[in-house]
Amino acid sequence: MRNLAPLNTNPIDEFDSIRKSKQDPANSVLLALRPTILSRYGEYKTEFDKNTLQNIKNKTFTPQASEFLKKCYSDSTNSLNSVIARIKKNQPDHLRSICQFCGIDTDNTTDHYLPQSAFPEFSVNHLNLFPCCAVCNPIKNDYWISKDPNYRGIINLYTDILPTQQFLYVDIRYFRNNVIIKFRIDNPNGINPDLFQVIENHFTRIKLINKYNDKTGNIYQRVINSYKGKIAYIGKPDLIRTDLLKEVQNHFLSFGRNHYEGVLMEALANNNHFLNLF
């Protein structure tokens, strides 16, 4: 899971470009709404810059206005496709195709952080759009604020600066010939409690612990296969540990300190039972 870089273009220019590609009556209705949209984009940017998007209250639009605003997104236009393509292109190469809400699947959909159902005016504002996988997107759905309205329920990958401290952990237990591997999150390293609350809400909503637990068998087998039967590693637990930790450091640099795969590899590198299997 890594932060994403927002575009630095002005979202109202993109709204105008999408509006101009519409026929009447959509074009006229959207043009009449433009001052309201401009003002709402300003409110969004103010709260975005302070990382307090939970302060934005929704505004009521007529059913027709709401429909045309949502259609700015749902009806494909070259201008909209260009915005979405530029959001993706703005990210580092190695993150470009991976959903950063989970860190697992391909980001072949776009999530509206503030949902279109309550905030149709932000349907094409790039600060509200995140590349997202087809698994996370429907699970997140309209959810973004937690039951406690002071806390957002989903990590905002533009504005919530992800901690460099560890918060994702994995417990490894060997029982006879079986290994039991379970992820969990915890905050022993003093991550800001408000930020950790958002992380916890995000993990609960997206069901990330279950998703990561489902991946453990594959990762464990891949790591085993890297060392098993290789003469250089037979009876050399210290060498396995050193080599595995090198791979872990590179993994964290690319995918973040709390990427599930790196966290599991690091835990294996520090597990004596594992190191003595070879």
199 lies in the binding site for Zn ion (CB under 5 A)? no
Q: State the nearest-atom distance from the C-beta of 138 to Zn ion, in Å.
A: 10
Residue placing its CB nearer to Zn ion in the complex, 19 or 202: 202
Q: State the nearest-atom distance from the C-beta of 103 to Zn ion, in Å.
A: 7
99 lies in the binding site for Zn ion (CB under 5 A)? yes
What is the rounded distance in angstroms from the CA atom of residue 58 to the CA atom of residue 48?
Answer: 15
- Region near Zn ion per CB under 5 A, out of 46-54, 94-102, 109-117, 267-275: 94-102
CA atoms within 13 A on the CB side of 191: 21
What track of x and - describes contact with Zn ion for positions 126 through 145 (by CB under 5 A)? -------x--x---------
> Binding to Zn ion (CB under 5 A): which residues in 38-67?
none
Residue placing its CB nearer to Zn ion in the complex, 105 or 266: 105
Q: State the nearest-atom distance from the C-beta of 203 to Zn ion, in Å.
A: 12
Residue placing its CB nearer to Zn ion in the complex, 99 or 155: 99
Q: State the nearest-atom distance from the C-beta of 201 to Zn ion, in Å.
A: 16
- Region near Zn ion per CB under 5 A, out of 3-11, 49-57, 67-75, 125-133: 125-133
> Binding to Zn ion (CB under 5 A): which residues in 102-121?
102, 105
Binding site for Zn ion (CB under 5 A): 99, 101-102, 105, 133, 136
